Structure 1
């Protein structure tokens, strides 16, 4: 019973409602759908700003959607005390002349369910990042637009896997911000799960996903990223392996910036930060997307 409970906590989707909408923020948008290469239909918002620059935002996993995070329905232990609205940074970016595509990963929010209805921590979701890039790059309004990626946690993992697997054409993206990249084994270790339980959970997650999460890492794919990249990491993030984040940054074989931010001792603090200090994002994107 405990094994399945912990496995559910790690890879079971469903705690990720779309809890707000762009019109609440005064943003002009359209509801859009597009399909990943394996046929999973993805749901999103195309928020209208300028036609020359588009940011594609990919959210974190399990407890998030394109909206961000809400503590409602999360039980006794909550990642953050209040809603985190990813539309905060979207509004700022639109005010700076960007359009923004925000979408739900497969098995999250309003997007479709995949053949294996679990969160894979990036390998499967990489198909969704590639589909979002393809959707924008073939959109009649944005055919010639510069594209930037705002990839948060599992979004950063998925994006890196997408480049490593050749799912995104080289030279297609102008810039990326990767927020708190994380691999599964580091998360398990940070959670303090006893080894004997972790081994049992691993058997269960492997059975569900069809592969061993402990054997998956996007670090070997980082050197395939070909656009200027900024990595953001909270120094006080209790889930983070700082050495892994440094290794990720060092492996980037392109123009790059590392931003360590001193925030509250919570994984979610940086997710909240990017909406409250969105100038950090626009300043970086502006440099490479003029």
Structure 2
């Protein structure tokens, strides 16, 4: 592994150096992989460094918010990475990158947690939404209505900040070189917008335009009311996947504060199966567009 300009290169692949959130997650994956390659347990590493097992584990799970160069260097020496080597330089570059302030920090008043930073670096985003239009596809007027109708509504200034942040998230994902985005939305989520027919029409027009735009990597499927998929038993979820093998995929379940991050392979596999089930019974993209057109004619 070594640094080449703005890219970290390995013998297997090249990945662009990213923002602090994803850099920390990438660092965690690298440290976990190096330990396993040395066939060392967390306890054995902790004993060598006279640390607690929890401290070693926190580096591998990303719970160490601002990892120090000194601590990571100590880990690398245990794993046999030579001081000053290309691999050492590349990994310590990740450490420094992970300690910087991310571009989403300026929206810290309306965005909680680190999801936005993880989202923008994903190579594939799979989302199922039974209740509302997914945030990445919401038009501003729809987003405002949704936020104002929330159980803990925000004041107008907070709503406008949140809408601005959402627009920034959309710009990074919906552009031509953005990640692959696969959306499955329940028909009921579209029909709930009938309280404001103008917003409903504009929002569905936007969904149709995005679905028919050949320059993006977005696929939209509508799950019709008549299907047998028990969406109420599942709830909304997002699966984020990455091209870097050191960044493990995870499932995000949104809550009123931040959200739950499910990372165990068994949990991710379960939600992949649920998403594939929904894919198999939802309408195809063209039929989904036809259904959406029918809702506004």
Asked whether the two chains share a fold, i.e. TM above 0.5, the reply is no
Q: Which has the higher helix share?
A: 2
**Looking at CA atoms only, which structure, 1 or 2, has the larger radius of gyration?**
2
Q: Which has the higher strand share?
A: 1
